[in-house]
Structure 1
Amino acid sequence: MYQLDPKKLSCLGIQEVPTTLMNIEVERLHPGVWQKRKSFNEESLDDLADSMKTTGTNVVPLIVSLRPDGDFSIIAGERRWRSGKRLGFATLKCEVGAYSYEQAAYISAIENLQRTDLNPIEEATSYHDLCTDLNLSHGDLAIQVGKSRSHISNYVRLLDLDIRVRDSLISSRLSYGHARPLCSLKNKADQRNIAEKAVRFEWNVQKIQQAVNALTQRKPSPVKLSDTDPDLKRLERDISEVTGLDCVVKRTPSGSWQLGFLAPESESFTGLLDRLGVRFDSDLEN
């Protein structure tokens, strides 16, 4: 779970915003425009309501800002507000601050990322919106939320998937691991077809990857041999016969030589290195 670290918010000046703790009438609280979450788990809201009923109030205050009409917009704590309404609470504890749009967007997104029931599309949307609203790169955001840059980038790629695939992620019929291979498919119909089969036949990640590979793997383009010098052509054929790999031999205008090989898979590549007496780091295969 993510933890909101005030030290990481200094660039936005969030900790510098003065706040006031108030008890505010429930009917004067409204969901904020920063809330990207569209669905709320009913069972989770019931559990939260039971907890609030035991304490008689919300122990953790909502974070809100004043609206022009005198009411308040919820920046963080909409689940507590919804549970409070279920219980018929007249007021809720709130921390009121004059936050800027960027500050409120950051606080709201970070609160969403702290949830344990966050689905992959909600997580991806939070990352995307933070980068857009705050003009952050994936690397910058990764530092802020304590994740790797690749983690951010891989999740944001989910937003380009076919809408039905995204719906399957939201409804938990597909996991992030199931959907990630589909991101390599440009055709959304292909994405949708594989996703539907994965759900229907309960495919594992490996099966989905195999289906994706069947669509994306093509025969490699043949290596273009030298087409000007017959001596070079013959040399290329001789080298290919010895190494078992297609090769290209070039001579530059300066008189230097270039030799290139095409190894279609790791086994061919390691075989060539063995014949050359080169020690191979197996980590390169991953």
Structure 2
Amino acid sequence: MAKATKKQALGRGLSALLKDPEKDITSASDKNADKVVGNIIELEIDAIEVNPFQPRTTFNEEALQELATSIRELGIIQPITVRKTGVNQFQLISGERRFRASKLVGLKTVPAYVRLANDQESLEMALVENIQRHDLDPIEVALSYQRLIEEIKLTQGQLSERVGKKRSTIANYLRLLKLDPMIQTGMKDGFLSMGHGRALVNIDDLSDQLDIYEQILTKKLSVRATEKLVQDYKNSGSTSPQEKETLEIPKHIKTGKKDFSDYFGAKIDIKIGKKGNGKITIPFSSEEDFNRIKKLINSEK
């Protein structure tokens, strides 16, 4: 008990040190840096901001409440990790669930490991840390891999070494990002497994992906049944058991389709019904791409 009390007192002492602007620690070479980096320090919750590089965007409220109850009863067992951004200012690197749950409980301070890291190092640490978690959905993992490749400039080989995964595993996750955004949302919400997604990604046409996606949901198809349906589609060119009736696409629609594609900078898909009605699908590859398309549409108002 005395040992624990001494360690906690040391944490409070270091916390006071970090508030002193005349002794501000900004790099590993600064005086007292060795007392801060790698030690558990009690930090004020209000001095910590959420990491903007956090790959996880949604948190299960019920699970957060359960974690909050555990923290209320037992305290925070595993400290969060933060990086120092200024005098008594910190940013989360990992542990956002613990941080959010602690705020729900009403804690004023939390135990934390303090690191000195620039934005790129912070991003890499946050992404790698989150990839190792078991409760991320496949799309969150895929987006984390993509960000490590694009923003940290890692090759798939380097990424494989960094996260301890086979290159083929990483490639399979990245392929999921070729799925229609609606299907990606379905995977994030738990309606589809990664196995379903891996089968669907073999279909290039996004509208046909959606047709099969609807069949998976309505018929509650297993992964094996989905793989067979996809194989049947690739053999027959149809997403239904019966061959789709071929409809002649009017010339003005063919021309309009090209104009749409050129304007939006995306491969527009147009489906024509028997009565001349139809549907226009505009795909997007990311939040930035979605906002780009929305801006183009709004500019025409």
TM category, shorter: 0.5 to 0.7
Shift in alpha-carbon separation, 1:127–1:77, aligned structure 2, 3 A:
same
Give the aligned partner of residue 126 of structure 1: 144
Query: What letter matches 1:37 in structure 2?
Result: R
Matched residue, 2:188 = 170
Q: Can you list the C-alpha shifts for 1:148-193, whole angstroms capped at 9, x where unaligned?
A: 1110001011112101100110000000001101111111111111
Q: Give yes or no for the alignment of 1:184 onto 2:202.
A: yes
Alignment partners' CA distance in 1, 2:215 and 2:87: 51
The RMSD of aligned alpha carbons is: 2.3
Report the counterpart of residue 72 of structure 2 in structure 1.
53
> Counterpart of 1:74 in 2: which secondary structure?
strand
Equivalent AA in structure 2 for residue 26 of structure 1: I
1:38 partner letter: T
Which residue is equivalent to 2:174?
156
Structure 1 residue 55, shift from structure 2 partner = 2.2
Q: Does residue 235 of structure 2 align to residue 217 of structure 1?
A: yes
Aligned counterparts of 1:49 and 1:78: Cα–Cα separation in 2: 12
State the match for 2:51 in structure 1: 32
Structure 1 residue 138 corresponds to structure 2 residue 156: yes
What is aligned with 1:204?
222
The CA distance in 1 between the partners of 2:52 and 2:103, in whole Å, is 20
Compute the displacement of 1:33 (Å): 1.6
2:42 corresponding residue in structure 1: 23
Amino acid at match of 2:70: S
Larger radius of gyration: 1
- Give the deviation of 1:143 after TM superposition: 2.0
Please give the secondary structure, in 2, of the residue aligned with 1:184: coil
Q: For residues 178 and 87 of structure 2, what CA distance do their matches in structure 1 show?
A: 38
Q: Is the 8 A contact 1:26 1:85 kept in 2?
A: yes
Cα offset for 1:69? 7.5
Partner of 1:116: 134
Return 5+ residue gaps in structure 2 as ranges. 1-27, 29-33, 238-301
- TM-score for both structures, normalised by structure 2: 0.63
Identity of aligned residues (%): 33
- Superposition deviation, residue 25 in structure 1: 1.4
Q: Relative to 1, partners in 2 of residues 1:23 and 1:31: Cα closer, same or farther, differing over 3 Å?
A: same
State the match for 1:63 in structure 2: 81
Cα offsets for 1:180-218 (capped at 9, x unmatched): 011111111111111121011101112212222233236
Structure 1, unmatched stretches of 5+, are 1-12, 220-286
**Distance in 2 between the 1:191 and 1:82 partners?**
37
Corresponding position of 2:165: 147
Aligned to 2:122: 104
Aligned length: 204
Q: Secondary structure of 2:232's match?
A: helix
Q: Does structure 2 conserve the Cα–Cα contact (< 8 Å) formed by 1:25 and 1:91?
A: yes
CA distance in 2, matches of 1:48, 1:102: 30
CA–CA distance in 1 between the matches of 2:212 and 2:172? 19
Tell me if the contact between 2:37 and 2:113 (Cα under 8 Å) persists in the aligned partners: no
Q: Find the aligned partners of 2:157 and 2:99 in 1 and give their Cα distance.
A: 34
Given residue 113 of structure 1, which amino acid in structure 2 is its aligned partner? Answer: I
User: If the length of structure 1 is used for normalisation, what is the TM-score?
Assistant: 0.66
Task: Kindly indicate whether the alpha-carbon contact (under 8 Å) linking 1:63 and 1:75 is maintained by their aligned counterparts in 2.
Answer: yes
Distance 2:92 2:158 in 1: 26
Matches of 1:114 and 1:49, distance apart in 2:
22
Provide the rounded CA distance (Å) in 2 between the counterparts of 1:200 and 1:69: 56
Distance 2:87 2:212 in 1: 50
Please tell me whether the aligned partners of residues 20 and 97 of structure 1 are also in contact (alpha carbons under 8 angstroms).
Answer: no
User: By how many angstroms is 1:92 displaced?
Assistant: 0.5
